Amino acid sequence: MDEWQQRPVRELAEAIAAGTLTPAPVLQACLRKIDARERTLAAWAHVNRAAAPAIRGDALAAAPLCGIPIGVKDIIDTADMPTCYGSAIYEGFRPAADAACVALARAAGAVVLGKTVTAEFGLSSPGATRNPHNEAHTPGASSSGSAAAVAAGMVPLALGTQTGGSIIRPASYCGIVGYKPSFGLIDRTGVKPLAHSLDTIGVLTRTVDDAQYFAGVLARRELAMPLHGALRIGRYGAQHWGNLSAAAQSALQQADEALLLAGAVIGERPLPSWHDELQAAFSTIVLWDVAATLAFEKLQHLPRLREETRKVLGYDTPAPAEYDEALIQGETWRAALDALFGDCDVLLAPAVPDVAPEGILHSGDPSYCVPWSLLHTPSLAVPVTTGARGLPIGVQLIARIGDDARLLAVGRLLESTLQAMRASQDQAEPA
Amino acid sequence: MDEWQQRPVRELAEAIAAGTLTPAPVLQACLRKIDARERTLAAWAHVNRAAAPAIRGDALAAAPLCGIPIGVKDIIDTADMPTCYGSAIYEGFRPAADAACVALARAAGAVVLGKTVTAEFGLSSPGATRNPHNEAHTPGASSSGSAAAVAAGMVPLALGTQTGGSIIRPASYCGIVGYKPSFGLIDRTGVKPLAHSLDTIGVLTRTVDDAQYFAGVLARRELAMPLHGALRIGRYGAQHWGNLSAAAQSALQQADEALLLAGAVIGERPLPSWHDELQAAFSTIVLWDVAATLAFEKLQHLPRLREETRKVLGYDTPAPAEYDEALIQGETWRAALDALFGDCDVLLAPAVPDVAPEGILHSGDPSYCVPWSLLHTPSLAVPVTTGARGLPIGVQLIARIGDDARLLAVGRLLESTLQAMRASQDQAEPA
């Protein structure tokens, strides 16, 4: 792996701004990775080999993402590249504008290297992307291309979106960091909508530090904070963790150990009585919303949509009263989050129940992500270990709404402690 | 005026569906009005003279807007017509998809006659549209073309959007009905965003019945309800009504009389202590949001934007903490709406402080609309009377969030009672 790829993005950007590194070799290293693996991984819907910063000179030198290549999930508009939303009906479509998140990244000096493969409209019909750790397996979806591209070292930063589990799941399957911010933290202008009260822009990166740094630019605010005093972590629903795969259990146990080692006080946070109602409310909201957000596609292009998408659009739309009730349930549960967290700052929970399943027609189980999408809480997938067939698996950290900086700080602590544990294990067991 | 233009849209649609009327003469009547007045009124950004329903045969005959022409504000995407967002930088842009509201209207049999003029991005720089009642005056903005087109009889129904006062103000200035639903009632997919927590799709129509009927299709729910028992109306902030123009005072007085005559119990609802803070919170939210929603335009096309737009984009962006605080204020005030309404079902308030001002470079005072945009309440402009220079003026009715059906029912009652009052006055004073 190229040496620069081991460095934090904030250091790379500083080096480029200071003139000790130029953007060209970083970009070239990305393109070499793409050349080496894209044919089998299919992470990209479009690559712009002539990609360059949108700003120049002093403005670029002062910009926090100065010369850093990024990948953009292809349900996010770009004015200089096709945007196809993972759908044949939008083949070759060129939007008139960049999405807000793309414009903000470009204004910060980022170089948009290309568009990454998405499930059709970010829904349930995945693209052709394969898991870089084992190509017989799914990378997860719908931000499949972004996760695979980052995991394969094709790009250090990528934009994703999550309505149900579309950031946390692929990040966990691909062994990288996925960060879904608090609902609304990053402006959604120019992102193809699926469900207005759920859709959230986030990032896929190699490290928590990169996620914090990149998302801070997109959210237009500082997402770093120091951790003071005793850190209280809650094992969320741990009484059911025994039902998970051995890989998921091992990931949770290692994360648990690392957090203890880092000085955290760890308690239990049982599932609330309404936990089992979350999925139904989520489904009601999505079904009501897609009947409008995809009304044009259904009316004008139904036969050209993928089978899975047609299936979703073919379900009965819930009654307005059911939809209203689901929205009210969401509000009620969000109001109960303080009780759910209790005296804990951050929750530790599964991200996925197992490593990525085999095959690429289905993208795995999103059920551990859906609750936090509906609840609008920030969540973070942190890679922990490797299970069967070389497939990685992560865990999920969750914080209260708006407490994103603390979530990321805890994520950094978990990540660095896991690294230290691995390093000391490697020392203890010489090859 | 053509006879059909006096009939409710629901009757026209039924007649077309029953085969006793064909869509063609309705469309032709609209085009004749456009031919007669468009040169001076400039209500349209684009007219599709070959407009036809998107659905056919039995589907069309069963559709609630069967063959009804509609106008679409040009910040709303249409796949078969240019969409320019009122801005030179989007000249000739053709989106790949219809906005959800357009697709839903088309699926209901509506005929999209064209795109109506909007202020640039729905912000503060109005287009060239003139007030049909006096061409030396503004029609109000930003839904200026939709209001003028409906007022001039060019189209029976038009789509508008309101972030601050962009539906209620032009409706009131143009002597038509404007309905801004509860926040989120009509799906916003495919509408150029300005401020996510404020932008609301609504309708401009000749009558409250038409608004109820049209919006019901777009909101995918019945918006009619019978009024039972004593109707309680609150005069909102009436202690300050003496500061309004004579025309606005007269409109409020006539509406007040009509509601009394219709049997309503009318009480006083004083301004809450936080009333004066609403505008500042609104401005903070808009300034923070436009720095993202218009980030692309600012980064790539600043010199080609209109002066007023450049001015807004040139203001300092609020600090994140100020923005967060403004959002929290909005939530807090919404939670206090029950106290604000007290025992009243619906509030009566000014829509605008006077008839439309002279000139078309400024579009009048939105300050009576802004509070209800921030508060997410449904509001309805009902035309009442005519002031100086033949210029109409309306009043505003407001209901609790989600109580749209009641708002519209009270609006119908006000409208029909005002008509009865005028009819009896005409009889009492023979020419």
User: pLDDT tens digits, residue range A19-71?
Assistant: 999 889 999 999 999 999 999 999 999 999 999 999 998 898 889 999 999 99
Sheet containing strand B69-73, edge to edge, reads B44-47, B111-116, B69-73, B157-162, B200-205, B177-180, B379-386, B392-399, B346-350, B232-236, B265-269
| Given B87, B124, B125, B142, the catalytic residue | B142
| Given A142, A143, A146, A373, the catalytic residue | A142
Give CA–CA dist A250/A157, Å, rounded: 28
- pLDDT tens-digit map of A369-390: 999 999 999 999 999 999 999 9
| pLDDT number for residue A431 | 55
Say if CB B344 and CB B267 are below 8 A apart: yes
Cα A53–A21–A80 angle (5° rounding)? 15
Segment (H or E) for A112: strand A111-116
Q: Where are the beta strands (DSSP E) in B74-154?
A: 111-116
Burial B373-394 (b: 16+ CB within 10 A, else e): bbbbbbbbbbbbbbbeeebbbb
* Cβ contact, residue pair A106, B193, below 8 Å: no
Query: Which pLDDT band holds residue A5 (cuts at 50, 70, 90)?
Result: confident
Question: CA B122 from chain center: how many Å?
Answer: 12
Residue-range domains of chain A with CATH = 3-219 (3.90.1300.10)
> Is A2's pLDDT higher than 90?
no
Averaged pLDDT of chain A: 96
Token code pair at residue A78: 């770009």
| pLDDT number for residue A3 | 65
Size of interface A-B (CB pairs under 8 A): 106
Segment (H or E) for A22: none
| pLDDT number for residue B5 | 75
Based on the number of CB atoms within 10 Å of its own CB, is B226 exposed (0-12), middle (13-18) or buried (19 or more)? Answer: exposed
* Cβ contact, residue pair A299, B324, below 8 Å: no
Active site residue A142: yes
* Cβ contact, residue pair A98, B296, below 8 Å: yes
Mutate which: A185, A189, A317, vs B, most B CBs within 10 A: A189
* Cβ contact, residue pair B98, A320, below 8 Å: no
| pLDDT number for residue A324 | 98
Q: How many residues does chain B have?
A: 431
Q: Find the radius of gyration of the CA atoms of chain A.
A: 20
Query: Which pLDDT band holds residue A430 (cuts at 50, 70, 90)?
Result: low
Nearest CA in chain A to B92: A96
* B295 CA: distance to closest CA in chain A (Å): 6
Global ipTM: 0.96
| pLDDT number for residue B1 | 41
| Residue B184, helix vs strand vs coil | coil
8-state DSSP, A52 = -
Give CA–CA dist A138/A357, Å, rounded: 6
- Chain A residues with CB-CB distance to B under 8 A? 54-55, 79, 90, 93, 95-100, 102-104, 106-107, 184, 187-190, 193, 196-197, 219-222, 289, 291-293, 295-300, 317, 320, 324, 402
- Residues whose CB is less than 8 angstroms from the CB of residue B298 and which lie 6 or more positions away in sequence, other chains included: A103, B291, B305, B313
Say if CB B22 and CB B16 are below 8 A apart: yes
- Residues whose CB is less than 8 angstroms from the CB of residue A120 and which lie 6 or more positions away in sequence, other chains included: A85, A86, A87, A127, A305, A306, A308, A309
Give CA–CA dist B186/B200, Å, rounded: 7
Query: Which pLDDT band holds residue A1 (cuts at 50, 70, 90)?
Result: very low
* A353 CA: distance to closest CA in chain B (Å): 33
Give CA–CA dist B68/A112, Å, rounded: 44
- Which chain B residues are within 8 Å of A300, Cβ to Cβ? 54, 79, 98, 103
| pLDDT number for residue A427 | 86
Give CA–CA dist B294/B313, Å, rounded: 8
- Which chain B residues are within 8 Å of A304, Cβ to Cβ? none
Give per-10-residue mean pLDDT for chain B (431 aa).
78 92 92 97 97 90 94 98 98 96 97 98 95 98 98 98 98 98 98 98 98 98 94 97 97 98 97 97 98 98 97 96 98 98 98 98 96 98 96 98 98 98 86 56
* Cβ contact, residue pair A187, B289, below 8 Å: yes
| Residue A268, helix vs strand vs coil | strand
Number of C-beta neighbours around residue A207 at 10 A = 21
Q: Where are the beta strands (DSSP E) in A69-110?
A: 69-73
Of the candidates A90, A190, A296, which has its C-beta nearest B103's C-beta? Answer: A296
Mutate which: A106, A182, A296, vs B, most B CBs within 10 A: A296
- Which chain B residues are within 8 Å of A184, Cβ to Cβ? 196-197
Residue in this structure with the two tokens 């010199």, named with its chain if needed: B303
Give CA–CA dist A312/A317, Å, rounded: 10
Token code pair at residue B185: 């009632």
* Cβ contact, residue pair B289, A320, below 8 Å: no
* B164 CA: distance to closest CA in chain A (Å): 19
